[in-house]
Amino acid sequence: MSRTLLSAFEPRRYASSAAGLRVPPNSILSATPLSSLTLSASATAVAILPGQAAEQFTYGPEQASRAVREYLEGLEVVDRPESARSNISVTDPAAEWTCAPGGPAFFAYSTNYLVDVRAGVIVDVEAISAHRIQEINATRTMIDRVEERFGIKPRYLIGDTAYGNAATLGWLVNDKQIDPHIPVWSRADGREGLMPNSDFTWNEHKDEYRCPQGHRLRREWRSFKNPRTHITKAATIIYRASQHDCARCPLKRRCCPNTPMRKIARSIYEQARDVAREMAKRRGYRQSRRDRKKVEMLFAHFKRILKMDRLRLRGINGARDEFLLAAIAQNLRRMAKKLCPTAPPTVLAYP
């Protein structure tokens, strides 16, 4: 079925959008807007344990269910610290303990769609635990999988700010050559009243910043015997001003009142971030933001029309199967509307 639908696309490129929808396993969703999902009262009896106590519980071959066995196998591959999780479900440990704004916490999985916004067809589906990092990584998985299976790649990718982190933008621009129609995620630029980093001018040729007073900010102020990259664990390079320049600068109270010098952390993917900022200034970017509604409409159809208000299967594989079947049903419904248009209304004539 997927190959039949994809044959109508452009040979190598298509416009796509990535987004996620959280669905709690074995629990009922309320008929609220898409961004808020809550548990029914009957789901409060699910057995849970703190993440720090996960190592104290052991399962024998007869005690472990399929969902638990899949979870234990995934631990060996992912190697994530389970003690950092706040709560773990005993019956479905792969589900993530999450909370919607203003609602109670619940265990949930997340479905991610890669959609051709021109045709409104779901190209790929990825089921994950409801975790922000896994949701971002699912985008890479879907793009690579579609390119490997069908030989097609998006011309540009639409997403919200969650996909606008530096590493993802660097992967899209540098590795995949995909235009990111994604808002750039950035931290708050200092306290109110202080000089923001945007007031500093970047010189690519000299690899340095210039402050409004013309002073330089460099990654190193002396030569080292062994060359250093100065890349931090956060994938940034710290550019520092001279303490002598900052001490006599008239703008020090607005620039760095509590430190001897001004510092700017520049991401190693800053060029990709600049590309995303330039994309936001183009005419087609506003249309891309409107096209995101097509993905949200699919999620609304997922809940309201298909009545997918709960997952019947436990474990990540069970969630993956249900999400995939739901996406197939949505594609078949759209294909039926395209291939079998409705007949014109009959006009009745009375004598």
pLDDT of res. 180: 92
pLDDT tens-digit readout, 106-145: 788 888 889 888 888 889 999 888 777 888 888 899 999 9
Shared domain for 150 and 246, answered yes or no, is no
Based on the fold, state whether residues 13 and 80 are members of the same structural domain. Answer: yes
Q: Do 208 and 176 belong together in one domain?
A: no
CB 107 within 8 A of CB 92: yes
In the DSSP assignment, the letter for residue 224 is -
Mean pLDDT, to the nearest integer, of 260-269? Answer: 92
Do 299 and 248 have their domain in common? no
pTM for the whole structure? 0.74
Higher pLDDT, 342 or 34: 342
pLDDT in tens, 290-332: 888 888 888 888 888 887 777 888 888 888 898 899 999 999 9
pLDDT, residue 310, reads 76
Q: Is the pLDDT of residue 249 over 50?
A: yes
The count of domains in the chain is 2
Show which of 268, 289, 318 is a domain's final residue.
Answer: 268
- 10 and 117 belong to one structural domain: yes
Is residue 84 included in any domain, yes or no?
yes
How do residues 55-104 score in pLDDT, each as one tens digit?
555 555 555 676 767 666 666 555 556 666 777 777 777 787 877 777 77
Q: Is 347 within the bounds of a domain?
A: no
Q: What is the dihedral of CA 80, 83, 84, 88, to 10 degrees?
A: 90
| Any domain includes 349 | no
- 192 within some domain: no
Question: Does 321 map to a domain?
Answer: yes
The answer on 144 and 32 residing in a single domain is: yes
Domain end position, chosen among 268, 300, 317: 268
Q: What are 330's two structure tokens?
A: 């949505």
- Evaluate whether residue 127 is within a structural domain: yes
By the 8 A CB rule, do 206 and 223 touch? no
Last residue of a domain, one of 212, 236, 268: 268
Q: Are residues 287 and 317 in the same domain?
A: yes
Instruction: Please enumerate in sequence order all residues whose Cβ is within 8 A of that of 229, keeping only pairs 6 or more positions apart, or say none.
Output: 237
Domain containing 24 — which CATH number?
A: 3.30.420.10
Domain that holds residue 46: 2-183+280-339
User: Which of 310, 329, 344 has the alpha carbon at shortest distance from 25?
Assistant: 310
CA distance to 68, 122, 144, 168, 296, per residue, from 19 (Å) = 28, 11, 16, 14, 8
The Cα 51–Cα 167 span in angstroms is 28
Q: Does some domain include residue 346?
A: no
Please indicate, yes or no, if residue 296 is contained in any of the structural domains.
yes
Q: What are the phi and psi torsion angles at 103 (to 5°)?
A: -125, 175
